[in-house]
Amino acid sequence: MIKAIQTERLTLRGWDVNDFEALANFLTDDELAKHRGGAVDRVAASNFMSMVVGQWTLRGYGGFAIEERSQTIVIGMTGLWHPHDFDEPELYWSLFRGFHGKGYATEAAAAVRDWAIETKGISIMSFVSPENIASIKVAERLGAIRGEDSALGDVAKLVYHHQRQS
């Protein structure tokens, strides 16, 4: 069962088929998707949505749609992604166009981090592109500790390890 998490300004909830257009607009946007490996077509966006939802069945955790509570609109995504060849899940965050610079990514990712560590008892990490200054700042605001650099496929990534913040 997908858990909903409330923060001061946000609701993190499971994905709904009605969220597809907002997600597809993000994933097909060259500028917004550049740190995620590049824009994809709508079929790949649909497959991504299914993968994110499917993690809940396979792992008991997965992705959340970020909803701005005051307007009940989907503004981004966060959650845990855990392919079979990862030692631990990745905490990720992305905001859709028009919602950057408001602290939403940090607020949402902190809520998922705390939920994952407290209720699931798992360690988590994040891959961040070295050019993605905004996400590096989010990782630092979350108190993540920079580990050894790595690669995801052939793409260089910074690795951050997360701990519960008091």
- End-to-end CA, the chain: 27
Q: What is the mean pLDDT of residues 141-147?
A: 95
Per the domain annotation, does 114 fall within a domain? yes
What SS3 class is residue 63? strand
pLDDT tens sequence across 51-103: 999 999 999 999 999 999 988 889 999 999 998 888 899 999 999 999 999 99
Helices (H), the chain: 20-27, 42-59, 104-115, 133-141
CA distances, 143 to each of 101, 126, 137, 150, 153 (Å): 18, 12, 10, 19, 26
Which of 50, 161, 67 lies closest to 113, judged by CA?
Answer: 161
pLDDT value at residue 33: 74
Name residue, tokens 């902190």.
110
Average pLDDT, the chain: 91
- pLDDT band for position 156 (cuts 50, 70, 90): confident
CATH of the domain at 61: 3.40.630.30
Higher pLDDT, 145 or 36: 145
User: How many structural domains compose the chain?
Assistant: 1
Residue 113 falls inside a structural domain: yes
Would you say residue 149 lies in a domain? no
- Domain annotation covers residue 110: yes
**Residue 98 included in any domain:** yes
Is residue 136 in some structural domain? Answer: no
| Host domain of residue 62 | 5-122
Angle at 22 between CA 93 and CA 114, to 5 degrees: 25
Render pLDDT for 19-44 as a digit per residue (tens, 0 to 9). 999 999 999 987 877 767 778 899 99
Percent of the chain with pLDDT over 70: 96
Confidence label for 155 from pLDDT (cuts 50, 70 and 90): confident
Q: What share of the chain is helix, strand, coil (3-state, %, to 5)?
A: 35, 25, 40
Q: Is-contact 45 28, C-beta < 8 A?
A: yes
At position 100, the amino acid (one-letter code) is: H
Residue 65 belongs to some domain of the structure: yes
**145 lies in some domain:** no
Question: Hunting for tokens 């994952």 — which residue is that?
Answer: 116
